[in-house]
A and B are shown apart, each in its own frame.
Chain A
Amino acid sequence: MDKVKNGPREQLERVVLGPLVRTGKGYRLLVGGLVLVVLWALFAYSTQLRDGLIVTGMRDRILWGFYIILFVFFIGISHAGTLISAILRVVKAQWRTPVTRMAEFITVVALSVGGLMPMLDLGRPDRIPNLVLFGRWQSPILWDVLSISTYLTGSIIYLYLPLIPDLAICRDRLGNEVPGWKRWFFRVASVGWQGTARQKKLLSIALASMMVLIIPVAVSVHTVVSWIFAMTLREPWNSTVFGAYFVAGAIFSGIAAIILVMAVLRRAFHLEAYITHKHFINLGYMLGGFTLIMMYFNVSEYVVTGYKMAGETSFHFVQLMVREYAPFFWLYTIGGMVLPGLIILFPKTRTFTGVLVAAGLVLVGMWMERFIIVVAGLRVPLMPYDPSWYVPTWVEWSIMAGAFAMFGLVIAVFSKLFPVISIWEVAEQYEEHEVKEAPALGRSLPATGSLRMEPTSEPPAEGADHGPGGTR
């Protein structure tokens, strides 16, 4: 048994732990580029600190712009991670194991970047301590502060728990191959994990309580984010469906983000054997399902308001359907929902590439959706004045680029600190698979079947000659 087990397992460890040891030229280039973009964004922010928010395109009428759009966007992405991994864990979907780590990781990173955005938006960032000194629990902003910090802490714990056995593997396997500080990190972070029965039991209790708890916390976060808008008396935001709409949109865009990040990491770290096309297709099914939910929400929202054409709502409806913001709206609905839905629907297009394209479309579409909600929503005149325009300045564009670069940078840096695939969970499945398969003689279980090595599914050219990170 031992020999049979050790074969794939050792290979798994070798592949997954590889990036922690070696760093290629492509990776350094990528990180260097991302650092440059982040530095540029910091420079842009410094001009905003110096001159005030006048350097942005926001004004009294359209008083939020890219920063709040990005806030909603990144918080949205963060949902996928934890929520998907928790839901998949709770329903015990077997194919999830190589996916969850990255999903949880994306959550933490996206949440950190997203949480930063409202701070960039503040007119007086120096007064952030006032939130603690004079906080009012009745304010949606405070709900955001509380729920996002709770969610961030929860998702860090939730990322960390299944990481402990893997860190122990790093501690034991990566002896002198890594520098001293990394060894120290692995030793400390693995909290003396020896894989004893009691430790396993304790960990599974901790994991079970976290995966149940994290789902309501995640749902509450995006509900509260939507309430920043829905708790005002602005006509297009004055909607009771906003909470559910935002939560669905968040998971939707989050799945798309996972698909794209996973594809990049898979290519960069040569994980083709573990993250197979099957995983992408499965995530594609989830994405397809959510296109239907999102379409339903849009029909609910726009058919009901458009049918009645009441007051200020009619202005919003018209500017979305046929006037100024029609390109954005139709790009979002057709490009970001219908088209990805169709790509997933037809078996011919439901391929690895197809899923990637769909995910890209969804991300762009969901960014448009947030743009429509924030900017077009604020454009609706409240009093008899001419509707104004929002034209983002170079500062806002730079900070947006910086936010995405930051997202990539943190992922790149932390992917060198711990394995991006949960080694022990995948290995556990191998073992289970063998135990189950032995008496049943070749009866393949569909769930675990996907985890078998599929050397033929990938072209052999994707070999070791690619530097990590060399794909982007």
Chain B
Amino acid sequence: MRMHNVRRALLVLLPLLLLLATGRAALAADPADLQLQAPQEATLGEQVTVTAVLRDASGTPIVGAPVILWSPAQFLSTGGAVQLGKVATNARGEATFRYEARTEESVVLNASFSGDSRYSAAQASAQMAVQGSAQLYQSSAGVRVPGVSVWLLVGLLGGVWGTYLAVMVLLTLIAREGAKAPSRAGGQHG
């Protein structure tokens, strides 16, 4: 129950906040323009570069502004935004993110700049189709040493038990010899 509420609250709150920020900035600050460049397609697990470019109204890059990359997601019963990174823009106004697609089918990527004292907030979004369904995470433990397997144990035991068996065969030979020999050999033992 609580998680559902939280998710709903987040879904309502997030756009509201953005709206509020934009509205306020429109009154007081210069408008900022954010553009998100992302590949249209990617394979599952592929590292792609996503670039957000932040400029002012005149097309001049805004330098050193923090840009957040996020994506809406759903896991178990929790839904909401997953923050994928936070990068400050460089001299060309670019914030570059490395993104690895882990979710199948399509991903919506959002970049947002929350505005500062001079510029208003800005947002951009891009859609990326993700292909493939291969397992990406594989846990590995131990190491396979060639030759070390259950057969080694079988061979070892087989050797020992084979000798036991051979000794048993010797015993039967002794028994046969005893049957052939004249019985009561006059106490010649040892």
Contacts and interface: CB of A to CB of B under 8 A. Distances in A.
Interface of A: 137, 146, 150, 153-154, 157, 161, 164-165, 168-169, 172, 191-196, 198-199, 202-203, 205-206, 209-210, 213, 217, 423-425, 427-428
Nearest to A210: B167
A427 B190 contact: yes
Interface in B139-190: 150, 153, 157, 160-161, 163-164, 166-168, 170-171, 173-179, 181-185, 187-190
A192 B160 contact: no
A194 B166 contact: no
B135 to A, nearest CB: 25
Contacts of B150: 137
Contacts of B168: 157
30 contacts: A150-B157, A150-B161, A154-B164, A157-B168, A161-B167, A168-B189, A191-B171, A191-B178, A192-B174, A192-B176, A192-B177, A192-B178, A193-B174, A193-B189, A194-B182, A195-B185, A195-B189, A195-B190, A196-B178, A196-B185, A199-B174, A202-B177, A203-B170, A209-B167, A210-B163, A210-B167, A213-B163, A424-B189, A425-B190, A428-B190
A146 B160 CA distance: 11
Contacts of B176: 192
Contacts of A157: 164, 167-168
Nearest to A168: B189
B87 to A, nearest CB: 40
Please list the 9 inter-chain residue pairs (A to B) with the smallest Cβ-Cβ separation, ordered nearest first: A192-B178, A424-B190, A191-B175, A206-B170, A194-B181, A195-B189, A195-B188, A137-B150, A206-B167
B163 A209 contact: yes
Contacts of B184: 172
A150 B160 contact: yes
The B interface, classified by DSSP as helix, strand, loop or mixed, is helix
A380 to B, nearest CB: 25
Contact of A194 (B170, B173, B188): B188
A144 B8 CA distance: 59
A206 B171 CA distance: 8
Nearest to A154: B164
Interface in B53-100: none
A169 B187 CA distance: 8
A193 B184 CA distance: 10
Contacts of A150: 157, 160-161
Residue picked from B150, B181, B189, most chain A C-beta under 10 Å? B189
A202 B173 CA distance: 8
Contacts of A205: 170
A169 B178 contact: no
A191 B189 CA distance: 13
A425 B189 CA distance: 10
A217 to B, nearest CB: 6
A153 B175 CA distance: 20
Given A165-B190, A423-B190, A198 B177 contact: yes
Nearest to A428: B190
Contacts of A191: 171, 174-175, 178
Contacts of B178: 191-194, 196, 199
Contacts of A198: 177
A432 to B, nearest CB: 11
Given A191-B174, A194-B178, A172 B167 contact: no
A146 B170 contact: no
Contacts of A161: 167
Contacts of B183: 194
Nearest to B168: A157
Nearest to B173: A202
